Structure formats: C-alpha cells, structure tokens
Copies of this chain bind each other. A is one copy, B any other.
C-alpha cells in the first residue's frame, strides 16, 4: 500500500473525530455559560500536546512491532495474558462505540444540512450500520481507492474552511466574537472539574491514532519508515484541523446546538462559506469520512476477535481468520452491538461521548506500559530514551484515563467501568473452559483405541418405507438392532405387534405404553435399561428418521418430535443419535377429497 493510499484509509478514524471534538468541548463549557467558551483554547492546546505525545509514542510502537502491533498483542507479549485480556476487553468495548459515535456524527452532518431528516435520526444511523455490515460481508478487498477519495475531499474541505476563515479574520472581514477574548475574571462556576470534563470530552478527537501502528505490514517497503512518516503527517493534519476548527468556532461565536441536531462543524462552515454548494459538499464529505471511520472498526473487530479466539480468550467460532464464516460472525456481532448503542442513545453523538474514550485510553496506557516493560527487559541500544518516551506516554494516557473516568463517571462512564471487569471475568472463564477441555482431550498417541460393541435402537411409529430403510441400514451396522414402539394404549400395542410379526424382518420389537403421555421419557428409560443390562461395554446408537421436504413451509409439518428427542437424548445420555434423512419426492395424489362437493 503506497502512503498516499495508506493515509486516507488508516487515518479516517482519527481525522473524522475532529468533526465532533470541538463541539464536545464547547458543550461541556456551555454548562457554565458562553463566557466560558474561551477556555476551549487552552483545552485544545492541551489536547494538541496529547496528540504530540501519542504520535511520538506510537512511532516507537511501529519501530518495536514492524509486523503490526495492536495493543492486545503488545500487552499480551510484554505484560502477560491477563493484561492482554484487559486490553482486549477495552478494545472490544471500543469498537462498537467507535461505530456508533462515527455513524451518529455522520448522521449529524446530514441533519445539519437537511433539517427535514431530523425525525429519522435513529433509523438513519441503524440503516447506515447495516449498509456497512452488508458491504463488509461481501468483502472489501478492492475498496482502498474508494476510501481514499472522500478522505482527501474532507481534508481539502477542512483546509479550505480553515484557510478562508483565518483569512477573513486576518483581513478584518468578519467581526471577531467576544468568545475568542480571554475573560478578565474567571467565570463563576468554572471549576477545575468542569475544565477537566471539557478536556475529557475533547479527548474524543484523539481516538483512532493507533490504527496506523496496527497496519505496518500493509505499507509499501520500507514499511516501518513509511508508516512512521504517515503517522507524522496524520499528527500534523489532525493538529491543524482540530486547532483550526476550535479557533474558528470561537472567533465566529458559535454556540453548540444542545439538541444535537446541528453540528458545530456545520455552523462554522455555514458562517465561513454561507449555505452554498461548498457548504453542502463539506457536510457530505464529513458524513462520508465518518462512515469510513466506522468501517475501520468493521475491519478491526473481526481481526481482534480472531486473534483473541486463537489465544482461547474468545468463543472459538470467531477463530478462523481463513474461514469466511468466522469473519461474518464478527461483522454481524459488531453490527448488532453498535445498532443497540445507537438505539439506546437515540443516535446522538453527544450522548455516546461519555462512554467513548475510556476503552481507547485504557488500551493506549496498556500498550505503552507494555513497551516500557519491553525496553527495560531488552535494554538494546537507545533503550533509555525509548523507555522515557513510552513511559511519559503511559503516564499521560493513564492520567487522561483517570480524568475521564472520574469526570464522566455519572454521565455514562460508569457503564464502561462496570462492564469492563464483567467482560474480563467472562473471557477469563472462557479461557479456563477451553484450557480444561484441551487437557481433558489430550491423549497419548500410543494408547490403543477403546474396544466397544454397539446396540442400535430404531424408534418406529408404524411400518412404512422409511422404517424399512432405517431398519435395513441399522442391520448393516450392527447385529444388535432393536425397534422401539411407543403407544398410548394397549390396543395400539397389540395391533402393532401383530403387524410386526407378519412383517418379520428379524428385528425384535419392544413396545411400550407411555404412562407419561410423552415420547421422550420412555425412550430414555429404555436406553437406560439397555445400558444397565449390557454392563456398559457397548455404545448405544439411536437412529431417528427425518423427513426432508421440498418446500420450506413443509418443514413445519414434520420432525418436531425427532428434533426434540435428539436434543434431549444428547444432553442427558451418552448415546449416539443418528439422523437418517428421507427426501420426500412429493407424489401427486388424487385430489378428490380436497374439493367442495
């Protein structure tokens, strides 16, 4: 992948978050009053510093793991499996949130431009998610170029916007709003807590930076160097656009829309360009880059699930990266989770932000700590500098994590704080279970195979073609075949036994009058009887015929009891259950009885 293609594909997540970063800061400061808006500037500055730290730290991640790191791998390798699992959990929580936040912000760009769409926010977001699901299920191998275009269009729009806006301010073309001037006194109510809350909200603009370090092998060689320079370019672009939008929104005196229907970015764009075609192009480019940002999660989640499943930290069905179905499970799971989030939080970015960055910063912290450990252990050339850089990164991201968790706790962060340990326990249990199964299954290659015989039970409901074929098949498998008949009355038994006698194919019929008015229990009891009589040296197999009809609705007309018998027998007894399919041919019968007379 050449860097001109890698930049848009891998940084859509990071770049797109400028679409809501400034807005979230202003919304928090707005709880104090318009006069507090000015403090968005120092906060934005702090976030730019944070971006700088992260860029430098992650350049070192690229150096350390040129084969593509990923926080889960870095933490597992350097801190141990338990910390790796914690990282995995935080990423697992993060992926659906990224989808939900990006899609909701994308729809916000639409509702900003076309207010008529406001009543349809929730359906719009959920439809977008499932379009993503559908595209990803079909496979996106050749989609690189498609993704490149809108990202460059977005970057172009943003640079144009900032350029024209700054030019207007510099030339005095607009009246600079009072919000850009520092208040002479600290506004009443503007506590440190509020500032930290606003800072936490702004940190949502930092998410997505790690994507490049996860995908180093995809870069054109020399891949590590190309990845590093791409990361640097991303950092510069991100800083310019985020800083620019923040300054412009203060200069133009933008007030964020508390209903969340119109985005701050839309308000700024409208002030600078007017509501003309450039404005609409910008909104559409914003929507598109945000949708592609969501798409990066659809790429990342199945890969993470697969890696974690390989480490037995996630259900096995997600495991095979080669198997198309494993991937499908991952994509559909992500689609369901993010649709759920969008539904519960009414498809509004502002509602989702308090949950968003915890997972990101937890994984940042753990990945950096892992690297610190690695440098310390290896102590190669230049390890001290590297250790210091990642150490600072780890400490700073940890502090942000703490700030975020505390200041946003009541507005929603508690959900993530509660969910994380629960999920951690769950995947630990999963791992223990798989370990225990593996140790149970292990055998010595020299052990002989167990020697057993077999008894075959064929439940019969009468004498017809399917019964005959099943009995014949059973006789090829074992000399011990028993037919088992359940009746609800003695007359039925008598009739059946007589007919069986007449048929006489050398198979013993055991009849049973069900006292329980059910079929399954007598069968289980019969199996138990056979097991006890044969002193357990023989495996019991039950052959159940199953009709395979030609049309789907005909399935509802057959096999209900076979299906039930099968699942109960397997769950309760050590019995092999074989299903003998009988494909119905649908012979036409005389329709005499089916017409009105």
- Taking beta carbons and an 8 Å cutoff, which residues of A are in contact with B? 79-83, 86, 315-317, 320, 322-325, 428, 430-437, 439-443, 445, 447, 449-454, 463-466, 468-469, 471-473, 475-478, 488-489, 499, 502-503, 505, 514, 516-519, 539, 541, 543, 546-549, 554, 556-558, 560-561, 564, 566, 570-571, 573-581, 583-589, 591, 593-597
Contact = CB atoms under 8 A, between A and B. Distances in A.
A562 to B, nearest CB: 11
A581 B591 contact: no
Contacts of A585: 440
A436 B550 CA distance: 12
Contact of A557 (B434, B472, B571, B583): B434
How many chain copies does the complex carry?
A: 2
A320 to B, nearest CB: 7
A166 B261 CA distance: 65
A587 B436 CA distance: 5
A432 B591 contact: yes
Contact of A546 (B428, B548, B570): B570
B432 A453 contact: no
Contacts of A595: 82
A541 B578 contact: yes
Contact of A317 (B548, B560, B583): B560
A563 to B, nearest CB: 10
Given A466-B441, A594-B428, A436 B586 contact: yes
B472 A451 contact: yes
A541 B456 CA distance: 14
Given A445-B502, A576-B581, A440 B454 contact: no
Contact of A449 (B434, B453, B505): B505
7 contacts: A82-B594, A435-B589, A440-B584, A443-B464, A445-B503, A450-B472, A543-B576
Contacts of A556: 315
Contacts of A587: 436, 439-440
Contacts of A548: 570-571
A594 B432 CA distance: 8
Contacts of A571: 548
Given A323-B518, A596-B80, A433 B578 contact: no
Contact of A539 (B437, B443, B476): B476
Contacts of A546: 570
B557 A315 contact: yes
A250 to B, nearest CB: 45
Given A437-B547, A571-B548, A322 B430 contact: no
A511 to B, nearest CB: 15
Contact of A472 (B449, B554, B586, B589): B449
Contacts of A594: 81-82, 428, 431-432
A579 B546 CA distance: 14
Residue picked from A430, A440, A571, most chain B C-beta under 10 Å: A440
A431 to B, nearest CB: 6
Contacts of A452: 472-473, 476
Nearest to A520: B325
Nearest to A443: B465
Nearest to A546: B570
A158 B503 CA distance: 65
- Most chain B Cβ neighbours within 10 Å, of A452, A488, A589: A589
Contact of A453 (B433, B442, B476, B574): B476
B475 A477 contact: no
B557 A316 contact: yes
A466 B441 CA distance: 7
B430 A443 contact: no
Nearest to A516: B324
A588 B433 CA distance: 9
A519 B323 contact: yes
B463 A445 contact: yes
For the complex of A and B, list the 9 residue pairs with the smallest distance between their C-beta atoms, beginning with the closest: A578-B578, A322-B488, A441-B464, A449-B472, A317-B560, A82-B596, A477-B477, A80-B597, A441-B465
Contacts of A445: 463, 499, 502-503
A360 to B, nearest CB: 21
Contact of A464 (B442, B472, B581): B442
B433 A554 contact: yes
With a 10 A CB-CB cut-off, give which of A450, A477, A539, A588 has the most chain B CB atoms: A477
Nearest to A590: B435
Contacts of A428: 594
Given A452-B473, A454-B477, 12 more contacts: A322-B488, A324-B516, A433-B549, A440-B465, A440-B586, A441-B466, A443-B464, A445-B502, A449-B472, A473-B539, A541-B578, A575-B581
B566 A579 contact: yes
Nearest to A560: B317
Contacts of A476: 452-454, 478, 539
